[in-house]
Structure 1
Amino acid sequence: MSSMPNHIAIIGAGPAGLMAAEVLAEGGAAVTVYDAMPSPARKFLMAGRGGLNLTHSEELPAFLSRYREAAPFLEAAVRVFPPERLRAWCETLGEKTFVGSSGRVFPESFKASPLLRAWLRRLAAQGVRLELRHRWTGWDEQRRLQFETPTGSRVVAADAIVLALGGASWPRLGSDGAWTSILAARGVAIAPLRPANCGFSVGWSDLFRERFEGQPLKSIALSFSGRSVRGEAIITRHGIEGGAIYALSAELREAIASAGAATLLIALRPDLGTQELIARLKAPRGKQSFSNFLRKALQLSPVAIGLVQEAGKAAGLSPSSLPPEQLAALINGLPLKLNGTAGLARAISTAGGIARDELDADYMIKRLPGVFACGEMLDWEAPTGGYLLQASFATGVAAGGGVLRWVQR
């Protein structure tokens, strides 16, 4: 058992937990970070495999709006630790950042591992201890933390606790949502965990699935419930996913939960107006096949043409027989029925978590004095583009600062 003045236990060695540890160590606390996995920040490292998107460069009012109904809850934390502070913090670790063409911010190395290595070295130099293979199972009767370790059970006493256990997406990387039952048993309200930034299932025909699985739909526009986004998507064996899909995933998920299905509209050539589309489709087809005609007249990719055929058949239509006006409407208003949401295990992030009104302004759980929470285990969600990591870092800073103020009182 460990007990010492101002000993702070942080449970979860992801970005939020490690940021809280840094703030606390700088404030003079003795900090130990516990994590169930054999190494820290596994999901953070996975996020960096395709280029670590740390944050976004857009103006703060627009940035905050990406958090939707959770924006008022997160605003103070993000304003204290905004994107420019996150970029400056990266530079103190020797990792300069740059703004990509989409406004997203990346480290120049384009990787998570160099940043994490430098961060762990600094935390070690600040005296932060890291205890791995420690799975938190709750509290004992004396309010000591209980852990299961490879060598047996362990109890730890702490002056304050920061929970940074993540959501429940990609559970093999450490965040499995097991904490929900522990906190619920203590009376803490938990919004149900749901997949966010996720894919959706579609009833593809066997022919379409076998031919186009894994193929990208590029430069498209997606519309649902009055919102429209541009980007890319990917055909999967069971449906569709990708950046443009993720941007609408919250609305699509809720519609499917309510009605059992949702119809997404896809514009395959959003840069072409209706009249331009019709004019091109009125050009003589000659002896060309329908597919070749669409490829040459509209520069549609094979997967886009296949999608036109698939949507036409689903609606009982023969796209090749449609007049230009109807075909143009189909191409830039293609209805795609989504009949299910991909599971949590494959989602990029998690919606739901500790209800926002369970926390005070310092991110302390009101029902559990001295217990703070941060990161993805709180009830907020955001699209990809840097918003997820930014809020995780910012709430880690906020929780760390909150602990220092609480201990000092």
Structure 2
Amino acid sequence: MSNLVWFRNDLRITDNHSLKNACDANGAVIGVYFFDPMYFQESDFGLDIDMQLPFGKTGKYRAQFIIEAVKDLRKQLESHGIPLLVFHDSPATVIPSLIQEHEITDIYLQKEWTRDELQQEKLLGIEIEKLEKKPKGRRTYDQFLFHPDDIPFSSFQNIPTVFTQFRKKCEKELRVRNLVDIKDYHQEFPEVTETNLPTLKELGLENFEKDHRTAFPWKGGATEAWERLNHYFWETGKLQYYKKTRNGLVGIDYSSKLSAWLAIGCISAREIYWEVKRFEKEVKKNQDTYWLIFELIWRDFFKYVSLKNGNDIFKIGGILQKEYEWKTSSRELEKWMNGETHERFVNANMKELSATGWMSNRGRQNVASYWSMHKEQDWRIGAAYFEHILIDYDVHSNYGNWMYNSGVGNDPRNRTFNIQLQASRYDNDGKFQRLWLQEELF
């Protein structure tokens, strides 16, 4: 008898409830991770447009980051005697044979609710139904700061549309849950067939060298996530200036940069929250330290928005079902992606994104506004490109933010940015634009 932990966007052994529950149950524990071809194929992203997008769902930057994170996860699991099987295949193809080979009685996994993840589970369910002995699926909500069972709303449908209402009520009435761990767990390593991690080439992607200018030079994995947190919090004390510097554009320390590890679960929101609380107790508590928690609540909010609205977050009218005259132009997309627009600030940010898979929060808002509000292009195409290229892509935050900036989300106001004013405010010396446009400003 064995318990299978199916890792997806929870690539850590600390504060991982699926892993903890499996370790607390009877039987050996085996982990599995899939580089599902569904995420690496060319795709139209389900858009109802007459244009083939020139990119797939997962690009080279995020893919490499995930490979590194899975490698780190495997090493950490092995220290507890837990193997991690890795497949470049679909769960529906592989898991049924694992169930029979290892007598799997229970499958533990993080609960997901968005389109692609549900499709994965649906296809797997069809195959499991064919088996004589069917394991139990044990899903756990595990990517929130505020757990869904704790939120002070009677149902997901009653979650406010306005962030401030959500934040204030949660802050007033909730306590973030304590962390869990498996530090005392160890088992004899089960007999399993060794598997290898795929390369970028095997995933259909090209190898690359990191650009020396990148503001995100790190690797994937919980080990690197905690090294980054310790640097930003404890070694440099930068956390106490976070709110003042978070709109920066150049360098590694203008913001925490924790979003990429959060997105695939190398570190949990709860872990970051409790580390902030420790910093406030031992070093300093101010608006800056609070602001990192504030951003974690924003992240939670977008997850609840998608729980409440389902696939509406992928529809052209967004959650507000607004009707605008959106355009689709391959030429405009090419110019935007390549940083060849008439806005220098947009160009610098898009060139940074293309070269590194990273862009600042300030940059993201400006390039999104340019695409959807200035050029009036279908906002979902911009969101799809971000999904492809961002190292820190998170389905809920990505589509939530794009709706928000495009007038079809949680803020119905016109949020069109004056991009030249933004450039003068946040890059008044032109340092960022010179870095990425590699030319002198006149």
- What TM-score comes out, normalization by structure 2 length? 0.24
Higher strand share: 1
Query: Which is bigger in relative contact order (C-alpha 8 A, separation at least 6)?
Result: 1
| TM-score, reference length from structure 1 | 0.25
